Amino acid sequence: MIIRSATFVKSSPTLKDCPKTNIPEFGFIGRSNVGKSSLINMITGFSKLAKTSGEPGKTRAINHFLINENWYLVDLPGYGYAKVSVKMREKWAKETENYILNRENLAALLVLIDTRLKPQESDLQFMEFLGNNGIPFVRVFTKTDKLGKEALKKSIALYDEIMLVTWESLPITFTTSARNGTGREEILVFIEETINKLSF
């Protein structure tokens, strides 16, 4: 897939505020500070599409970007640490969950996971929630340029080992680096193939 256009459309605090559309949407989500905005900019090829920040918890609404006029990339609030009140974090979580469970044209979620960290309970619980609710998703391991090949294999293997205790099979998995562009083509191929299979 060649990205010809990428346009910010709307930032929505709740599901009912989201654009009224039936074209496919691909949601990007992960723990705060996982490198989501940088990855979105790398994948689209537009370096300032999503605002990056050194401060975790920057994404605070459901952000829609129209790609190639035929699908939406949706930047969702991260889960985990953010410098806001517990009440505010709970509100984001509730609205994000509502979007995930009830957005009819959500084609898939891309769950971003920081390869530098040992398996995080929040990531594992979130993927369990998706599996239990039949939400299609893929794993996207980020910041792989920070690790050597063996350390990267070990990091992913730890997640696999834990998940296979309760999962019959593992989701599609991508390894990425916003710094050097790793994984960009593979993710775009996945998105294109998913769109081609859909009939909303």
Please, what are the domains in the chain?
6-197 (3.40.50.300)
Q: What is the mean pLDDT of residues 122-138?
A: 94
Residue 174: predicted pLDDT: 97
The pLDDT tens digits of the residues spanning 149-187 come to 999 999 999 999 999 999 999 999 999 999 999 999 999
Residue 53: predicted pLDDT: 46
The number of beta carbons lying within 10 Å of the beta carbon of residue 12 is: 17
Residue 35: predicted pLDDT: 87
The pLDDT tens digits of the residues spanning 15-33 come to 999 999 999 999 999 988 8
The number of beta carbons lying within 10 Å of the beta carbon of residue 187 is: 20
User: Could you tell me the pTM of the whole model?
Assistant: 0.89
Task: List CB contacts of 80: < 8 A, sequence separation 6 or more.
Answer: 31, 32, 56, 120, 122
For the chain, percent of residues with pLDDT exceeding 70: 88
Residue 188: predicted pLDDT: 97
